Structure 1
Amino acid sequence: MPNEETGRLVTVKTKFHREAVRPGGINRSGANMSADRSIAALRAEVDSQIAGAVAPLVALLRNWGEGDAVKGCEWAALTRDLAGLAGRHLLTEVAMHCFDCLDAVVIDGAEMRVEEAACYADALVFAEQDMCRGCDLQPYAPLLGDLDKLTSRVIGRATPAAVAEAR
């Protein structure tokens, strides 16, 4: 094709290109390292907040008294939500059962005995050891099954008048 014009190359320099090649600019590996440090700091902060919610919750359950059940509900909900965010699935499940039980005590007037509260405290301490970061909860099925039965038993003690009033 003899009548075609030859193309010409044009160099385009973007802001990213200027920042990347200037002295003191950051390269890709430096950006990745910075991101890894930020994520590690965030993870440490979430883990600290989880510990800050679990410790008083366990203390409350070990010294069970119904007067503090409302605060226990808040700590259990915080633990459940933060553990889910951090990918700590076993702790999430245990905190969820604990919240359901405490919620039944607060809202429905269910009775939770001292021995039952101690079971939740022991389960929280075990789950807090962070042995299960993956999604495979199968090895912990007996524990979760027992907590489900215990939660159902406590919820079953709800007073009919409190349940009717809550609705």
Structure 2
Amino acid sequence: MTAPDPFDAARARLAAAPREALGELLAPRRLLGLARAPRIVRRGSAWHLGVLLLTDDAVLATGDIIRARQQARRGYTAESQRRRAELAAAARRGGFAEGETVHIGWRVLDPAAPAADDTGAASARPAEASGPLVFADGSLFVRWSTTGGLVPLESYLAERVGLLLDPPAGA
């Protein structure tokens, strides 16, 4: 008898929990030589579990998170603010509802295979990473930030699923 997959167990617990949209930024082709505004198109939905996104059949690493909103002229003190506002407007143009949360820049993870190094060969380091998923000492861990420590996958999922199902007051 094999141990249950922790991702399948999380999916079962999350069946009735709300999901967030997955999107993909598309730069449209020129029409009669004129550039058209980019838009973000819907590519599914997922449960947001910290640094992981969980779909019905995949595990993803989070990318950028935006809220769709109409484009408005504003003065920005930072170029990064302007870029985020452009992405929010692109999501709205792509058909997302005003204020809807959209994940873009996500990538599919393979929890069964460690990442390869630049040469394509399996890394000989003690901990091999596939985005936020890390194999160490024969177990799967989650690195919840670039400088953060490793958390065992099962306890990470249990905590994140619990927070999604029963968020703290005021969250």
TM-score of the aligned structures, taking structure 1 as reference length: 0.25
Select the structure that is richer in helix. Answer: 1
TM-score of the aligned structures, taking structure 2 as reference length: 0.25
